[in-house]
Amino acid sequence: MLVLAARRIASMILIMFVISVMLFVFFEGDKLNLAMRVLGQYSTMEGRLQWLEDNGYNRSLLVRYFSWISGFLMGDWKLSAQFSAPVFDFLLPRLKNTAILGSCVFLITVCISLILGVFSGIAEASLRDRAITVASVLTTSIPDFASATFLVAIFVYWLDWLPGSSSFSNGFTWRELVLPVGALVIFNFGYYTRMTRASMAEVMSSQYVRTAVLKGLPYGRVVMRHALRNALIAPFTVMILQLNYLLSGVVVIEVFFAYDGFGKAIYDAAMFGDVYLILAGAMIAVAVAVTTQFISDIGYTYLNPRIRFA
Partner 1 sequence: MVTPVLELKDVSISYYTRAGAVPAVYDFSLTVNPGEAVGIVGESGCGKSTVALAIMQYMGKNGAVTGGEIRFMGRDMRTMSEEELRKIRGSQIAMVYQEPMASLNPAMVIRDQLIEVPMIHEGIDARAAEKRAIELLDAVRLPDPQRILNSYPHQLSGGQQQRAVIAMALLSNPKLLLLDEPTTALDVTVEAGVVELIKDISKRFGTSMIYISHNLGLILETCNRICVMYSGQSVELGSVGQVFDQMRHPYTRGLFSSIPLPGADRFSHPLVPIRGQLPLPRDRPTGCTFSPRCDFFVPGRCDKPIPMLDIKGDPGHEARCVRYDEIDWAKYKPKGVETEPMEPGPVVLKVNDFKKYYEIRDNSIGALIAGTGSRYVKAAERLDFEAREAETVAIVGESGCGKSTFAKVLMGLETSTGGEVLVNGIDVGKLPVKKRPAGMISGLQIVFQNPFETLNPSHSVGAQIGRVLKKFGVAKGSEEIERKTHELLDFVKLPREFAQRKPRQLSGGQKQRIGIARAFGGNAAVVVADEPVSALDVSVQAAVTGLLTDIQRKKRTTMVFISHDLSVVRYLADRICVMYLGRIMEQGTTDQVFNPPYHPYTEALLSAVPIADTSVVKKKIVLKGELPSPMNPPSGCPFQTRCHRKIGLICETELPPVKELAPGHKIMCHLPDEELRAMEPVIAIARKEIDETVSAATPVEDAPMSQAPAQLKVKKGSVRKSLVKTPGDNAQP
Partner 2 sequence: MTDIAAPSAAPVHRPSRLSKLVKSIGLLRESPIGMLGAFLVLFWVCAAIFADVLPLRDPLAQSAPDLLRPALSPAPDGGTFWLGTDDKGRDILSRLFFGSRLVLFWASFATFVAYSVGMLMGVAAGYRGGWWDEILSFIGNVFLAFPQMVLYIVILTQLRPDSPAGELLAAAGFTTVWIKGLTIVLAIMLGTAPQVMRIVRGLVLDLKSRDYIAAAEVRGESPFYIMIVELLPNARGPLIVDACLRLGYVTIAIAALGFLGLGLPPPDPDWGKMISEVRGYGAAAGNAMIWPALAISTLVLGLNLLADGLREISLRD
**Which parts of this chain interact with partner 1 (CB under 8 A)?**
2-4, 124-125, 205-208, 210-218, 221, 225-226, 229-230, 303-306, 309-310
Nearest approach in angstroms of CB 10 to partner 2 is 12
Judged by beta carbon, residue 43 or residue 304, the one nearer partner 1 is 304
Nearest approach in angstroms of CB 190 to partner 1 is 24
Residues with Cβ within 8 Å of residue 162, at least 6 apart in sequence: 155, 156, 175, 176, 178, 179
Judged by beta carbon, residue 82 or residue 304, the one nearer partner 1 is 304
Residue 119, binding choice from partner 1, partner 2, none, Cβ under 5 to 8 Å by partner class:
none
Residue 59, binding choice from partner 1, partner 2, none, Cβ under 5 to 8 Å by partner class:
none
The C-alpha atoms of residue 41 and residue 27 are separated, in whole angstroms, by 17
Nearest approach in angstroms of CB 39 to partner 2 is 17
Judged by beta carbon, residue 17 or residue 219, the one nearer partner 1 is 219
Judged by beta carbon, residue 148 or residue 212, the one nearer partner 2 is 148
Judged by beta carbon, residue 223 or residue 274, the one nearer partner 2 is 274
Residue 124, binding choice from partner 1, partner 2, none, Cβ under 5 to 8 Å by partner class:
partner 1
Nearest approach in angstroms of CB 30 to partner 2 is 7
Interacting residues toward partner 2 by CB under 8 A: 11, 14-16, 18-19, 22-23, 26-27, 30, 33, 137-138, 140-147, 149-150, 152-153, 156-158, 164, 244-245, 247-249, 251-252, 255-256, 263, 266-267, 270-271, 273, 278, 281-282, 285-286, 288-290, 293
Judged by beta carbon, residue 175 or residue 210, the one nearer partner 1 is 210
Nearest approach in angstroms of CB 120 to partner 1 is 14
